[in-house]
Amino acid sequence: MENDDSLKEEKRSEFRSGDNISKLQRRMYSRERRGFLPWRRRRKQTVPKALVPDDWEYNLKGLNVEDASQETDQEGVEVPRDFEEEVGTNLGKRVFIFSLIFFIIAFAGSAIYLFVSTGQVQSTNAVQIIVEGPTTIASGTLVELQVLITNNNDKALELADMVVDFPDGTVSPVDFKTPMTGTRIPLGKIAPGDARRGTIKAVVFGNDDEILNIKIELEYRLKGSSALRSQVSGHNLIVSGGAMSIAVEGDTEVTPRQNTLLTVKVKSYASVELNGTYLDAELPLGVELVDSSPAPLESTGDTELPVTTKRWFLGELRPGEERELYISIKAGGNSGDKRFIKFSTGVGLQQGAQLGTVESSNTKVLANKEYVLEIKRPFLGVTLTSGGEFLSNAVAYAGRYMTVRVNWLNTLDVPLQDVKIKVNIGGSAFNKLGVRAGQNGFYRSVDSAIIWDSKTARDKLTTVPPGKGGTFTFKVAPLNSAILQQLEKPELTFDVSVSGKRLSESNVPEVLTSNVEYITKVATDVRFDAYALFNSGAFPSVGSLPPKAERETQYSITWEVSNTTSDVEDAKVTAELPNYVRWVGLTTPANEQVTYNKVDSTITWVLGKVRAGTSSAKPRRVTFAIGLVPSLSQLGTTPELIMRQTFSGVDTYTGELIRISGPNVTTRLEREPGFDAKDATVVK
């Protein structure tokens, strides 16, 4: 009690003493329990209730919130307003952390399962392929590659196969003939840590500086797994020298349509024998092959080569061996034009292969060469024309003379002297007896040549001033139809050569020559015939002979068409009936298409294709019946039964439209056996 009283007295004296603050500090920091400040309950501060409630109220864990500014728990502890926000944030963090832990556990479980089930995760180093060999080679040489395959897995490789893909043109090192596109080498089972070593041999070809790749792939299955796996490697080879070369010798400047001889040399630089060698010549537009030795391959079926490409089979070439080909071409165009001929050679062509077949497409190009021809204007321009067309575009007809004009002109800026023009005529349809040289020329039959020079043409060709020229003419007729019918492609050829002298820059006479060739196709000989019959016709006789006025007499009209050397397409015959002739409607044979148009009284026979070799002995024939009812005004006349007859068709060889007009058929029955001329006149 005494202590309590003294303590109370002391506290009361704190408020009376001027040193109360110092005493209070001593008590607060004293280590003795006596002297502690007594505990006092804080007085609750009352806050007036808001007149307007907040947007929402909190009710967390049974706490009734009366104030939007602060809350207290059951023991009077204040609850801040952002408590719920803190709780929501902590909950989201806990969910995120839980999800992350779950994902890590799942991933780790999958990885462990994969590792256990397969032994280990496959990596690029699990199977190692090492290829050793040269990186630079000469084309056509033997290549040896050392291949080392190591299994770094902890499980065996089962059913292992090494697949090797070679570049195009690779051949076997054994016979140098068998193509090698790819090979599969079984390796069987490779134990963990084990290795396989082997050698790959092949003869490869390529162009200079070409990069060739040999692909090596290992296919296998891990023990205990059915999944097929593979590991790929490869080896690049740089070709340092070509295995073949092409050289072309010949004129680089030619006149239009001039025959030019090219010598093409193909040489082998390979260390092994080359098999299936070939030469291709891609001829541009305006250049055509005239002849060659040896002859090029024939094209059959669809071919991957352009239609202007010619191919020659050269066979086997030994190391260092060279082959020569002689190719005659001619180029058309204007002065200054250039024609680029592309030659290429290679290997892989099978003997006897024809263009368009598989055997001719599995080839490897080893060398290329471009040859340039420049078209130069001839010193003496000579052109041959007929009927206003160049002779190559003109068409000749069997047994009929065609007139040819020889137009010549000095194209130089200096005079030409002793000019000579010669035209050699030939071709399968040429008739040596069917030539007329004309006034200024001479026909030399021993070599079938027409010559114009200073002797035959007087002073016209002795000296030709610059820019001056002239025209000569001659005539030529092909063989007759009976002979042409035995030919497949009848044609006439005209080889024109000119020569002359001019003074060179050093005032020395210089001889100039040039030549050009024309080919004229001979059209097929189509014959069209029409005639009328009465008693011997295909249909029974109706009426009387001679025909009587105002009474009907029926006649049989026959059309015949024959053809010789080439097929004729879109062939048809048309004709008209006079207004006093009636279409009866009878035709024979039934397989021929004959129609009648009542509007314009026109008869049409559609033949379609008339094949070559349809002779006059067995022509295409059709017969139809017409009825004649003559008028009294026709008494004493021989009326026309059918008129304006025309045959038309297209010659498939020349492309020319053939049009033949036949004479009108009258009552004069010249083909009727025993016919009397008086029976052709209309009587009363």
Q: Stretch 238-259: mean pLDDT, rounded?
A: 82
Q: Provide the pLDDT for residue 483.
A: 87
| Token pair in block for residue 347 | 């290997």
Query: Which 8-state DSSP code applies to residue 6?
Result: H
Query: Which 8-state DSSP code applies to residue 440?
Result: S
Q: Provide the pLDDT for residue 29.
A: 63
pLDDT tens digits along 362-381: 678 888 899 998 887 777 88
Q: Provide the pLDDT for residue 270.
A: 85
The tokens 């020349």 sit on which residue?
654
| Token pair in block for residue 197 | 């070593």
pLDDT tens digits along 517-552: 889 999 998 999 999 999 998 999 899 999 999 999
- Separation of alpha carbons 25 and 33, rounded Å: 14
What single letter denotes the amino acid at residue 543? G
Better pLDDT: 559 or 183: 559
pLDDT tens digits along 444-499: 999 999 999 988 887 889 888 888 889 999 999 999 888 888 888 899 999 998 88
- Separation of alpha carbons 528 and 362, rounded Å: 53
Determine the length of the chain: 684
Query: Which 8-state DSSP code applies to residue 350?
Result: P
Highest-pLDDT range among 24-28, 78-82, 303-307: 24-28
Q: Provide the pLDDT for residue 641.
A: 96
Q: Stretch 166-191: mean pLDDT, rounded?
A: 83
Q: Stretch 562-570: mean pLDDT, rounded?
A: 92
pLDDT surpassing 70 at residue 300: no
- Separation of alpha carbons 408 and 424, rounded Å: 16
Query: Which 8-state DSSP code applies to residue 57?
Result: -
Quote the strand ranges of 318-349, DSSP E.
322-331, 338-347
Centre a 10 Å sphere on the Cβ of residue 356 and count the other Cβ atoms it contains: 17
Q: Provide the pLDDT for residue 90.
A: 56
CB within 8 A of 366, min separation 6: which ones?
Answer: 139, 140, 169, 205, 206, 207, 242, 243, 244, 345, 346, 347
Q: Provide the pLDDT for residue 93.
A: 62
Q: Stretch 612-631: mean pLDDT, rounded?
A: 91
Confidence tier at 307 by pLDDT (50, 70, 90): low
What single letter denotes the amino acid at residue 297? L
pLDDT tens digits along 629-682: 999 999 999 999 999 999 999 999 988 899 999 999 999 999 999 899 899 999
Q: Provide the pLDDT for residue 44.
A: 57
pLDDT surpassing 50 at residue 292: yes
CB within 8 A of 683, min separation 6: which ones?
Answer: 546, 547, 548, 549, 635
Instruction: Give the least confident one: 15-19, 153-157, 624-628.
Output: 15-19
634 vs 239, 544, 547, 643, CA distance in Å?
96, 16, 10, 17
Q: Provide the pLDDT for residue 59.
A: 37
Give Cα 278 to chain centroid, integer Å: 22
Q: What is the mean pLDDT of the chain?
A: 80
666-669 long-range contacts (CB < 8 A, ≥24 apart) are: 666/532, 666/638, 666/639, 666/640, 666/641, 667/532, 667/546, 667/547, 667/555, 667/628, 667/638, 667/639, 667/641, 668/638, 669/531, 669/532, 669/533, 669/534, 669/555
What single letter denotes the amino acid at residue 432? K
Better pLDDT: 116 or 406: 406
pLDDT surpassing 60 at residue 391: yes
